[in-house]
Chains A and B, each alone.
Chain A
Amino acid sequence: MKGKVAVIGVGMIKFGELFEKSLENMIQEAYLNCLKSVDKGIDPKEIKAAWFGQWSGGYIGQGSQSGATLASMIGNLDIPVTRLENACPTGGDTFRHACLGVASGLYDVVLALGAEKMRDKPSAESMMAAGGGGADTGWHPSWMLGQGGPVIQAMHAVRQMHDFGYTMEDFARVAVKNHLNGTLCPFAHFQFKVSIEQVLNSPSICWPLHLLDCCPQTDGAAAAIVCRADIAKRYTDKPIFVLGTNVGIDHSQLWDRNSFVEQPATVKAGKGAFKMAGIKPADVDFAELHDCFTNTELLNIEDLGFARKGEAAGMLKEGQFDRNGSRPINPSGGLKAHGHPIGATGLGQILEVVTQLREEAGGRQVKLKNGIGLQHNIGGPAFGVSAVNILSRTS
């Protein structure tokens, strides 16, 4: 797999409350932007298969679509198209499956596209949909009532405070850093700065997490075109190569989990991806990590091996994860600034990693040393699913 697949195009739309756009409108805009980004041009009919990432449409009113929705919207009915849903890592896993399609030898050029409408229903309803675990145990009120993302991550945050002495200020620093980065990203839902005081004074959602510790509910779409690495130069002078791709799995029920200061799904996804890539965490220049909540970013940094357990907050305070720090984390502004249109989120992060590796990120460009970037998602009813993709300028 390593080095066999290259990204030749990426495209997305500005994430936000897009009441004027349907799911189908967003799909087409992201797709057209993606085609346009292939600098030497591409005939759309060269795309021989596609994967469509969409999370839980049925609950939030957009309908759980099929591959036919994507195929119809891109006007290509002669290729196989599969819809994929795998909790919050849906976007990252959709990209992975596109890469596997090429690596299998079946297809030379394929499309990965994710799209999600989160805002057509009122916030409370949308949050309730996102919080229902699905399956029997997820619906039984004795066990799972109200166990949405904020509750689960707040339970981790309480344990991080207890075990490592992390504080709400430490969590707030993640929001400060990511929102600052987001002011320079044209695709971000929110493009404002926040201070530690503003985060700590925002309403309490699930103590110890405040409103500004949480990412917003957002509409959006994002896409990538990947192809056989040996033909990538036909399409672009700046192909970006896939070094490693993996999904890590842990329990689907919170009460089966052992630890609340580590998310084993991320640990496993990272280990497998690093092994495939033949690199160590220290070789990664920068990373786009799944900061659905501020404390989650600290968990992720540690679970992927960018810091030892209990040390991420201190390194953050020293500025090591700033855009000009030793290892920038979420130079795009992350989910905090972009929001989290679930099927699109991972592919939006892929766009940022590719843009940074091509040194086309303008004011938010990070310094590259090895030319390697990493994308990460985590989620699911007990945060038991994680996706990691490692990209590089060289194969």
Chain B
Amino acid sequence: MAQPTPASPLFWRFNAEVFRLIGIKCQDCGHISYPRTKICHECGSLNVQEYKLPKKGSIHTYCVNWTPPPQFEPPITPVVVDLEGGGKYLGLMTEVDKPEEIKIGSRVEMVLRKIMTDRGLNVYGYKFRLAEV
């Protein structure tokens, strides 16, 4: 599998999106997405504005992946999160003892974590952990 290294242009290009969580909100239909786009994916409007994604939300859906990619110990738990104020975010859960702790509707928050190592370089990004109620 062709894998970009952390030094490749793709990582530099998406720094604002990945670390500062800059996305867009369509001023016509309200759709929230990332990375930044000049044209709304949902309705095609050019009337989009930069929008800072919130770090908190609740789990929309998830699964328990027992056959993860290299470098990950099974199981890992990918989640799709309904962000506060709209929009969805796709990521991995962290700090989970048992997958059964994860449920649709569980409150979660983003934390900066090392995602993986690629050719000696660390790749950082946000993961989700269960939030204190």
Contact = CB atoms under 8 A, between A and B. Distances in A.
A263 to B, nearest CB: 14
A313 B47 CA distance: 42
A206 B63 contact: yes
B14 A129 contact: no
Contact of B60 (A127, A142, A151, A260): A260
Contacts of B70: 124
Given A136-B10, A256-B41, A146 B64 contact: no
B1 A162 contact: no
Contacts of B116: 141, 145
A132 B104 contact: no
Given A147-B78, A255-B88, A255-B89, A204 B66 contact: yes
Contacts of A159: 60-61, 104
Contacts of A255: 33-34, 80, 87-90
B13 interface: yes
A153 to B, nearest CB: 9
A280 interface: no
B91 to A, nearest CB: 7
Interface footprint category on B: 35 or more
Given A132-B1, A255-B33, A205 B67 contact: yes
A141 B123 contact: yes
B65 interface: yes
B3 A143 contact: no
A183 B116 CA distance: 44
Given A141-B116, A142-B115, A256-B33, A207 B64 contact: yes
Contacts of B118: 141
A140 B124 CA distance: 11
Contact of A128 (B11, B69, B78): B69
Contacts of B44: none
A208 B63 contact: yes
A104 B77 CA distance: 49
A144 interface: yes
Interface in A124-175: 124-125, 127-129, 131-132, 136-137, 139-147, 150-151, 154-159, 162
Contacts of A260: 60-61, 80
A272 B3 CA distance: 38
Most chain A C-beta atoms within 10 Å of own C-beta, residue among B13, B66, B99: B66
Contact of A129 (B1, B31, B62): B1
A157 B13 contact: no
Nearest to A129: B1
Nearest to A128: B1
A154 B89 CA distance: 17
Contact of B66 (A156, A162, A206): A206
Interface in B1-58: 1-4, 10-11, 13-14, 18, 31, 33-35, 41-42
B66 A140 contact: no
B13 A136 contact: yes
A295 to B, nearest CB: 11
A133 to B, nearest CB: 11
Contacts of A155: 61-63, 78, 80
B36 to A, nearest CB: 12
A312 to B, nearest CB: 18
B63 A139 contact: no
A157 B11 CA distance: 32
A253 B10 contact: no
Given A155-B80, A158-B104, A159-B104, A142 B63 contact: no
A142 B89 CA distance: 11
Interface of B: 1-4, 10-11, 13-14, 18, 31, 33-35, 41-42, 60-70, 72, 75-76, 78, 80, 87-92, 99, 104, 115-116, 118, 123, 125-126
26 contacts: A136-B13, A136-B35, A139-B3, A140-B10, A141-B123, A142-B115, A143-B91, A143-B125, A146-B68, A146-B78, A151-B78, A154-B64, A155-B62, A159-B60, A159-B61, A162-B61, A204-B66, A205-B67, A207-B64, A208-B63, A253-B41, A254-B80, A254-B90, A256-B31, A256-B41, A257-B88
Given A139-B10, A140-B10, A251-B41, 20 more contacts: A129-B1, A132-B2, A136-B35, A141-B116, A141-B125, A142-B115, A145-B92, A146-B69, A146-B76, A155-B61, A158-B61, A159-B60, A204-B64, A207-B75, A207-B99, A253-B41, A254-B88, A254-B90, A255-B88, A255-B89
- 4 closest A-B pairs by CB: A142-B125, A154-B63, A207-B64, A255-B88
